Amino acid sequence: KGIETRKGGPGSPGVVLCTKRKDVPEHAGVRDLERRQMADIKEHVWQTDTSISVHSWGYSTEDEYRSADQLIDSLMDIVSKNGVMMLNFGPKADGTIPDEYKRPLLEMGAWLKICGEAVYSTRPYKKFGEGPPLQDQKEKKDHTIVYTGEHIRFTRSKDNSIIYATALDWPGETLLIRSFATGEVDLSSVTSVRLLGVDSELKWKQTEEGMRIRLPGKPDYGMAYPVRIEFSK
């Protein structure tokens, strides 16, 4: 556990108490999970601290490294559950940043430049997502979780006019969102459905099975794929 200083209002420093255990009430601090993720949405903001390195928090010549794809998948799972990610990487002894860290960081930055609106300033939807069951994330380390194109994570805009449904792997020609089946969600006010990074509108229909969206070709960014569903205000 630790204390982080954050800037509040103009000229007013703020303090955030992070704790790895239930030493303080949930509303009094930020719950921190090391290399793990919450199983569901939490009312209060929480944090995952993890690393690009699999076995270490510092640089080692004998280590494994997480890919940008794995890190983006973890990020979307965390954000969908009202969490934030603190991502660690360690420099070499001379202070330089090795390529093993530079590569995923630059790839994440390129993805966020295109798809960041599904992350920044968003809020959790009423459910974090859908997909085949995963092993208990409280016991499973984040670098071992394998997501598929059926695993979708939801975020929404602050004004609740846009829902982002992010498939954590390429689902193929069609994305089926089972949570948006007829009778589950009213889609009558949908005005636009687009895949981030692609300008064209997507064709879709709502059935008893779910919202079925016809996708274009796989975009070049090649990681998690956010579909932007906009509703009239």
Q: What is the pLDDT of residues 195-230, one digit of tens each?
A: 999 999 999 999 999 999 999 999 999 999 999 999
Q: What values do phi and psi take at 142, rounded to 5? A: -60, -30
Residue 23 in this model has a pLDDT that exceeds 80 = no
The pTM assigned to this predicted structure is 0.91
Strand partners, 53: 65
Burial profile 127-166: b = 16 or more Cβ within 10 angstroms, e = fewer: ebbbbeeeeebeeeebbebebebebbbbbbbeeeebbbbb
The distance between the two most distant Cα atoms of the chain, rounded to a whole number of Å, is 60
pLDDT, one tens digit per residue, over 107-147 is 999 999 999 999 999 999 999 999 998 865 555 678 888 89
pLDDT-based confidence at residue 11 (cuts at 50, 70, 90): low
Strand partners, 211: 177, 206
pLDDT-based confidence at residue 26 (cuts at 50, 70, 90): confident
Residue 56 in this model has a pLDDT that exceeds 90 = yes
Per the listing, tokens 């090391």 go with: 34
